[in-house]
Amino acid sequence: MIEHNISLKPYNTFGIDVQAKAFGRFTSVDELKELLVNRDREMPLFILGGGSNVLLTRDLPFFVLKNEILGVDVMSETDTHLVLKAGSGVEWHSFVRYTVENGWGGIENMSLIPGSVGASPMQNIGAYGAEIKDTFVSLEALHIESLELHTFNKEECAFGYRESVFKRALKDQYVIVSVTYELAKNPKINTTYGAIQSEIEVMGVTDVTVDTVSQAVMNIRRSKLPDPKELGNAGSFFKNPLVSKAVFEQIQANYPDAPHYPQETGEEKLAAGWLIEKAGWKGKRIGNCGVHERQALVLVNYGGATGNEVYDLSTQIIADIQSKFGVTLEREVNIL
Ligand SMILES: Cc1cc2nc3c(=O)[nH]c(=O)nc-3n(C[C@H](O)[C@H](O)[C@H](O)COP(=O)(O)OP(=O)(O)OC[C@H]3O[C@@H](n4cnc5c(N)ncnc54)[C@H](O)[C@@H]3O)c2cc1C
């Protein structure tokens, strides 16, 4: 069924109230094909998962396709590993918890990232030292024009930091319908990143399992990040910028404590949140939106903000960071 002039407020974690000109849900590849065949070809398409990585700045003159393809299947299994295929509409965190509760390891550090399985390869989601590219095997995607299903392996997805081919060369050409991951039965646990180790100590757990790591990540995230159900947001609004060694050394001369992560390319990755905080934006409110008081990388909707208000705030922050540090911030959130 195709509906018209539907409010997208319940479908985006920023809680922005705009309308979609047309709206349809699909729970299978066949339903998706049917919507695509019967669509008004004049209207651009937008594929919507959990709406946790979008900022909607206007009523969308689009056909919004809401992905609700569910199901998780074990495809193959050895003594040490198993290969799992998940429907792209499965909620990412539920999928993580399902794997963790079975003792399978590989994605536990990415607990509590909102959104759908299908969006996980879009920007190669990552947190606490893990990225989906580390466990990714392949994905199936429907080509919007030919309606053919294609399988993409890891190389073809061209994963990078919050990047994939689906945000670049193949943008708007495919709908991801399933993603396949390989998980370990005797997982190597990674507690080195951020506060995971100290959180596990606070939890008082000595026999550390993937579930312990997942719980620790959930505790840390709940203490640091606003819950979109209470305060609209889309997580990190900006990417951590990559800069040349020369730019970094200039910043370091003024701020010896500037966090930085040397890259194989010789560049340095800076912490966008640190730059925004140093520039004095943390906790700042402008109208109905602002910069979160505990995490400067997160822009929030205090209620009733328009997408343009949030966008304007992000533009001011980008200009300020450019003038203070000579660094250009790039938005991680998809702007529509
Ligand atoms: C509180 C909070 C914390 C977050 N923390 C993190 C984090 O730690 N790490 C991280 O990487 N991200 C994080 N995010 C961002 C977000 O959760 C992820 O980017 C997530 O993968 C988005 O999933 P989604 O289903 O909501 O995508 P949506 O917002 O619905 O869509 C995002 C983009 O992907 C496209 N898309 C979605 N599904 C499909 C599909 N099946 N086929 C083709 N295109 C599709 C959409 O068209 C859109 O361009 C956070 C967000 C919030 C709100």
Q: Which residue among the candidates 164, 236, 268, 309 is catalytic per the annotation?
A: 236
Nearest CA to ligand 1 atom 8: 127
Q: Cα separation of 173 and 163, whole Å?
A: 16
CA of 117 to the centre of ligand 1 (A): 9
pLDDT surpassing 90 at residue 250: yes
Nearest CA to ligand 1 atom 51: 235
Residue 162 annotated to the active site: yes
Mutate to test the pocket of ligand 1, among 23, 48, 53, 295 (most ligand atoms within 8 A of CB): 53
pLDDT surpassing 90 at residue 128: yes
Q: Are 254 and 325 in contact (CB under 8 A)?
A: no
Mutate to test the pocket of ligand 1, among 52, 67, 221, 334 (most ligand atoms within 8 A of CB): 52
Q: State pLDDT tens for residues 256-296.
A: 999 999 998 999 999 999 999 999 999 999 999 999 999 99
Token pair for 134: 């580390």
Q: Which residue among the candidates 88, 111, 138, 162 is catalytic per the annotation?
A: 162
The per-residue DSSP string of 1-58 comes to: --EEEEE-GGG-TT----EEEEEEEESSHHHHHHHHHTS-TTSPEEEESSS-SEE--S
Q: Are 131 and 124 in contact (CB under 8 A)?
A: yes
The confidence score (pLDDT) of residue 216 equals: 98
User: What is the percent of the chain where pLDDT is above 70?
Assistant: 100
Q: Per-residue pLDDT averaged across 9-31, rounded?
A: 98
Please state whether beta strands 285-286 and 136-143 pair in parallel, antiparallel, or not at all (unpaired): unpaired
Residue 177: band (very low, low, confident or very high) from pLDDT cuts 50, 70, 90: very high
The CA-to-CA distance between both ends of the chain, in Å, stands at 24
Which residues, including other chains, have CB under 8 Å from residue 35's CB and lie 6 or more apart? 2, 24, 26, 63, 65
Q: State pLDDT tens for residues 82-104.
A: 999 999 999 999 999 999 999 99
Mean pLDDT of the chain: 97
Q: Cα separation of 177 and 291, whole Å?
A: 35
Residue 42 annotated to the active site: no
> What distances in angstroms separate CA 275 from CA 222, 252, 270, 315, 321, one per listed residue?
23, 12, 8, 15, 7
pLDDT surpassing 90 at residue 313: yes
The confidence score (pLDDT) of residue 162 equals: 94
Nearest CA to ligand 1 atom 50: 235
pTM of the model: 0.97
pLDDT surpassing 90 at residue 194: no
Q: What residues does ligand 1 touch, defined as CB less than 6 Å away?
A: 13, 46-54, 67, 88, 113-116, 118-120, 122-123, 125-127, 175-176, 225, 228, 233-235, 334
CA of 255 to the centre of ligand 1 (A): 33
CA of 67 to the centre of ligand 1 (A): 12
Q: State pLDDT tens for residues 43-80.
A: 999 999 999 999 999 999 999 999 999 999 999 999 99
Residue 41 annotated to the active site: no
DSSP label at residue 231 = S
pLDDT surpassing 90 at residue 151: yes
